[in-house]
């Protein structure tokens, strides 16, 4: 097991884990939806440590050409994830609300910086971290955390988009949704603009 790549993956999950403490403003407690959203990141971190300790074996044995490619892919996912988290943090002038807070009324619409092409760059970076963990340690549990993470973050993003569409910024936000992708940049312009 490539321990440098493992450390990068664990650093990435630690960076995600400290965001609620160092960046997001909290208008309430960590509710059950927050814990459901955070669960795959905790579980994936524990699985990586357990795999390193020898409790689980990945599907692809280390030391063959495929494992080297997977480690390279995982490092790429990890570096891009950390960079996107940092870029997104730098985009905000003030802390934003923590996920799933009950009284999270938008005060402004951020469509520049990390948000210029992706509506949810934090969530995209979290998914990149899960992709990195899966490619580093291909195992059914890391695959489960990736699938579960995608589903729960997609649900969370949809709820946030619905709330923003119904806010005072609704028309502007719906136009913004037409120009950007949820988790990936939208490279092909829509024909509506013509």
Q: Rg of the chain's alpha carbons, rounded to an integer?
A: 18
Q: Which domains does the chain show, CATH number per domain?
A: 3-186 (1.20.120.1630)
pLDDT > 70 fraction of the chain, expressed in percent and rounded: 82
The residues, any chain, with a CB within 8 Å of residue 94's CB and separated by 6 or more, are 25
Mean per-residue pLDDT of the chain = 85
Structure confidence by residue, pLDDT tens digits, 151-180 = 999 998 998 888 888 888 888 989 999 899
Least confident range from 39-53, 78-92, 102-116, 172-186: namely 102-116
Task: Reply yes or no on whether the pLDDT at 51 is more than 50.
Answer: yes
Long-range contacts of 29-35 (CB under 8 A, 24+ apart): 30/98, 31/100, 31/102, 33/99, 33/100, 33/156, 34/98, 34/99, 34/100
Long-range contacts of 27-33 (CB under 8 A, 24+ apart): 27/97, 27/98, 27/101, 27/102, 27/103, 27/104, 28/98, 28/101, 28/102, 28/103, 30/98, 31/100, 31/102, 33/99, 33/100, 33/156
Q: What is the pLDDT of residue 192?
A: 47
Note whether 63 and 133 are within 8 A (CB).
Answer: no
Structure confidence by residue, pLDDT tens digits, 87-128 = 998 888 766 665 555 566 667 788 889 899 999 999 999 999
Q: What is the pLDDT of residue 170?
A: 83
């Amino acid at each position: 097991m490539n321990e440098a790549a493992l450390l990068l993956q664990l650093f990435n999950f630690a960076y995600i884990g400290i965001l609620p403490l160092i960046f997001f403003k909290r208008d309430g407690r960590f509710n059950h939806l927050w814990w459901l959203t955070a669960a795959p990141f905790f579980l994936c971190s524990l699985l990586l440590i357990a795999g390193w300790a020898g409790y689980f074996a990945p599907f692809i044995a280390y030391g063959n050409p495929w494992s080297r490619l997977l480690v390279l892919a995982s490092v790429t996912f990890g570096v891009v994830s950390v960079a996107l988290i940092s870029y997104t943090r730098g985009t905000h002038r003030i802390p934003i609300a923590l996920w799933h807070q009950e009284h999270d009324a938008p005060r402004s619409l951020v469509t520049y910086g990390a948000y210029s092409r992706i509506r949810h760059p934090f969530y995209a970076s979290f998914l990149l971290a899960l992709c990195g963990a899966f490619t580093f340690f291909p195992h059914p549990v890391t695959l489960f955390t990736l699938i579960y993470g995608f589903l729960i973050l997609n649900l969370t993003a949809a709820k946030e988009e619905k709330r923003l569409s119904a806010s005072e910024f609704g028309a502007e936000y719906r136009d913004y949704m037409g120009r950007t992708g949820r988790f990936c940049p939208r490279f092909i312009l829509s024909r509506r603009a013509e």
